[in-house]
Amino acid sequence: MVTFADLVTLILVFFILLFSMSNIDNIKFKQLVNSLGLSESNGADASIIEFESSSQSQEGNNKKVLSNKSEELDRILLQVQQYLEENNLQEVITANRDERGVVLVLQEQVLFETGEAEILKKGYPFLNKLGALFTTIPNQIKIEGYTDNRPIKTYRYPSNWELSTARASSVIRYFIAHYDLKSEQFIAIGYGEAKPVVENTSEANMQKNRRVEIIISDPTNE
């Protein structure tokens, strides 16, 4: 009986060590304790309570991490908005936050000539501001290109799909070429004329639809 009691004690210590080092399903652990013939007086329930407390603590830590990441997005948004105000760019660049994350909308004239996808030099300062910010965060960044509904058919861009995608890709290439950023952090999307913000009924409206959107993704929604 002494030998058997020692054996049971060693088995209990062994499994306590196992679940303290890994994630163990609470129900399965109870079933294991019952299969070993251990009663509540042997401390099984106490161990389970400790396990549940540990899970709650981990959940709290996860929420704290997500909260910190959300605060980081707020900081980035504030910096971008201050830059736009200081450089009088609010008319051609907007910065907001929605369920996707921080959304920057750049009108065509900030970066490109009409019908082209080569970045203009006057767009470098703002892209440099963003590139420096992107080196400090791990968030996924989506670059989306949009056009108006006027058809285009050139050797380089047979349609608005190619033009919008080329513009998104050009912005990503700029960031990767000038900053220590990995291509895996970016996604390029070309929507062409498919998602206008306003009806293409005037030149002013068409100008609003010709845009590039940069979305710094919210990790809580990924």
Split at pLDDT 50, 70, 90, the class of 41 is very low
User: Which pLDDT tens digit goes with each residue over 16-36?
Assistant: 877 666 655 566 656 666 666
Residue numbers of the domain that contains 33: 2-63
Tens digit of each residue's pLDDT (9 = 90 or more) over 51-80:
566 656 666 555 555 567 778 888 889 999
User: Is pLDDT above 60 for 46?
Assistant: no
The mean pLDDT of the chain is: 84
Output the pLDDT for position 48.
Answer: 53
CA distance 180 to 221: 25
Choose among 53, 38, 59, 40: nearest CA to 14.
38
pLDDT at residue 222 is higher than 90: no
Residues 96 and 42 in one domain: no
How confident is the model over 120-159, as pLDDT tens digits? Answer: 999 999 999 999 999 999 999 999 999 999 999 999 999 9
Per the structure, the count of domains in the chain is 2
Clarify whether residues 204 and 161 are in a common domain.
Answer: yes
**pTM of the model as a whole:** 0.69
**Does residue 144 contact residue 189 with C-beta atoms inside 8 Å?**
yes
Q: Do 140 and 50 fall within a single domain?
A: no
Q: What CATH number is associated with residue 80?
A: 3.30.1330.60
C-alpha separations of 28 from 8, 25, 42, 147, 206 in Å: 19, 5, 18, 56, 61
For residue 122, what are its two tokens? 């006057």
Tokens 């994630």 belong to: 23
Among 36, 63, 90, the domain-final residue is 63
What mean pLDDT is predicted for residues 212-216?
96
Residue matched to tokens 């008319």: 91
Alpha-carbon dihedral 68, 74, 77, 83, rounded to 10 degrees: -100
Alpha helices for 21-102 (secondary structure H): 26-35, 44-86
| Residue 84 token pair | 């736009």
- How confident is the model over 168-177, as pLDDT tens digits? 999 999 999 9
Whether residue 36 sits in one domain with residue 94: no
**Radius of gyration over alpha carbons of the chain, in Å?**
28
* Percent of the chain whose pLDDT exceeds 90: 59
Q: pLDDT tens, 191-208?
A: 999 999 999 999 999 999
Of 44, 54, 45, the residue nearest 23 (C-alpha): 54
- Whether residues 102 and 29 fall in one domain: no
Among 63, 81, 101, identify where a domain stops: 63
Does 171 share its domain with 81? yes
What element of type H or E holds 177?
Answer: helix 160-178
- The whole-number pLDDT of residue 42 equals 52
Question: In this predicted structure, what is the pLDDT of residue 107?
Answer: 95
Q: What is the predicted pLDDT for the residue at 72? A: 84
What is the structure's pLDDT at 18? 74
